Amino acid sequence: TKKPTSKSKFFGKQKSNQIMSESNENNESYVPSTVLVLLGPLHFEHAGSADVLSVKIAAPEETTQALEKASSMVQPSTVETLHVVLKSSAISSLFDERIFTTFFEGLKPGGETSVHVLGSAEMPVQPADVDEIRFSLIMAGLRLEQEGLTEGEEGGWALLARKPVIETVDEEEEDEDDEEEEETTPDDKVEKEP
């Protein structure tokens, strides 16, 4: 049998209860542009050639090991999108704010974090249900841009946050600004009476 040629990696417990990868874990050239974190009994079938790092956490005791293993695969400022998917019933038991802090360094400035909370027609997700997630996004240094009911999904809720883009000021420009301030003082602006 051939190994998959996809550059997707998957970490989390499988039927064999081992952390597994779809491609060679020792491939140092692997740089994911998307990270997908699945919390609970959710399944993801990777299709296409996008570089997706998939992390599946089925139980709270798996969180630390799965996040550490996955974060070792992510280089600083290389991830364009972080997706977190969970059922509303898993928020209190499986959601962990470390998901956002673990991948913060890996997100590119302006990189997007989206959280998809799956509900049902009988029990739609309410704004108060995602308070912990909303707070964790903000505390991780992300800027919440949008949230609300998802279209086409019964009772789901989505939150979209972005890593801030920090503009750096060139030292020469800063020095020029300081010199201009020194040349013009408040006393210079006041006309002296003869």
- pLDDT of residue 134 exceeding 90, the answer is yes
What is the model's pLDDT at position 1? Answer: 36
Q: What is the DSSP string of 107-154?
A: EEEEEEEEEEEE--SSS---GGGGHHHHHHHHHTTPEEEEEEEPTTST
What is the model's pLDDT at position 170? Answer: 62
Which residues are CB-contacts of 137 (< 8 A; sequence separation ≥ 6)? 100, 113, 115, 144, 159, 161
What is the model's pLDDT at position 115? Answer: 97
- Tell me the residue type at 185: T
What is the model's pLDDT at position 118? Answer: 93
pLDDT band per the 50, 70, 90 thresholds, residue 173: low
What is the model's pLDDT at position 184? Answer: 52
What pLDDT, in 10s, does the model give residues 39-64? 998 877 666 656 889 999 999 999 99
Average pLDDT value for the chain: 79
Q: Which residues of the chain form beta strands (DSSP E)?
A: 9-12, 34-39, 52-57, 79-87, 107-118, 143-149, 157-162
pLDDT band per the 50, 70, 90 thresholds, residue 155: confident
What pLDDT, in 10s, does the model give residues 19-29? 333 443 445 66
Higher model confidence: residue 44 or residue 124?
124
Lowest mean pLDDT among 25-29, 39-43, 132-136, 158-162: 25-29
- Tell me the residue type at 142: L
What pLDDT, in 10s, does the model give residues 28-45? 667 889 999 999 988 776
